[in-house]
Every structure is written in structure tokens, then in C-alpha cells.
Amino acid sequence: MKKYLFWVGILLIIVVFVSGCGMKRPYMANQPAALKPSEGKALVNFMRPSGYARAASFSIWDGDKLIGMSFGKESFQYECDPGKHLFITWSEYKSPLEADLLPNRVYYVLLRIRMGMWRGRLHFIPINKEHELWNEALSSYSLLPNYAFDRQYLVDLENKNKQKILDYLNSYDNEVKGTKHVNYLRPEDGVNLE
């Protein structure tokens, strides 16, 4: 009887895990990926092609503004004003990406997850045409489902975490900026698709 209960328990855990991986998220909607930004804007593609830790979500920030959530085998786009941006994500590790974006350009950022001590660590990998992962980025761009987010959901989540992000931005300026922990998305990394 104990052996039977053990296997029933294992089966239930597997069912819950598998159903959680494909769970619908009402604050996200699948939509076709934009090919280029609106006139005068920049478009950043955040792509997480790996299914590793697929259901694990990571919030992606532009400074103190929450812009999206990353899940495995999914992507999202962020259209923004050109100029300087600081993209941040964290779990047990904070990953900053300084970006300097040009208008009417499309930028690509691969998101890679690695196991940390207790949780996954998400890393930004800025991609350009010379990068060894350029073909993977283009493939991900065309194959991954692209999601848009309910803005009110993001605002509510942003408000809950506002102090945490403000504390990090303060420590970034004082301790992290200019160190080996920062990646860079340069103006020339963008593709002009006109």
C-alpha cells in the first residue's frame, strides 16, 4: 500500500508540474512580432529560446519601469525612445544591461538562464550581426511566440517592487556601474530594417 501511495504521489507531482508549465497567463497575449519600430522609436527584442526552467519567470525593468516578464521559449518586444536605458533583471543575481539606442533601429537581446545557488540566474546577451549567436537570435525571433503584457498588471507589479528597484538603482550607481558585471548594447548593434 505504501508503494502504491508513493507512486500516486509522484504521478500527482508530475501532473501538477507539467500543467503548470503550460499554464495560461491572463496578463499576456500572443501577438505577431513587429518588424520595425514606430517612426523615431527603437525596438528591443528580448528572447529566451531555452526551455530550461521554462515556467520560471523573471521581471525585466527599464530603470524603475517594469517592461515585461521572461518565460522559457517565449519572447517579447519593447518599443521605447532612443537614448540611454538600463535594463535590469534579477532573482538571486542582478543582471544589468546598459543600452544606448538609436531611432528606427531594431535590437536583439538573448536571455540565458543558469542555475544559481538557490534559483535560476537570468543573463542578458546583447546580439549584433558579428556575434556568434546572431543566427540563433534571428531564428528565435521568427520561431518563438511573441507576447504583449497587460500594462495595468505591470504597473501593479511595478508598484509592489518599487522600493526594491530604487534601492538597486542606487547601489548600481555606487557599486556596479563600470564593473565586469555589466553588459552593453551599443548604438551600432541595432539593425536598420528600412
According to the model, what pLDDT value does residue 17 have?
Answer: 42
pLDDT digits (tens, 9 = 90+) for 9-61: 554 444 434 434 444 566 677 788 888 999 999 999 999 886 555 556 788 99
What pLDDT shows up at residue 43? Answer: 97
Of 54, 110, 97, 47, nearest in space to 76 by CA: 47
pTM metric for this prediction: 0.80
Percent pLDDT > 70 in the chain is 76
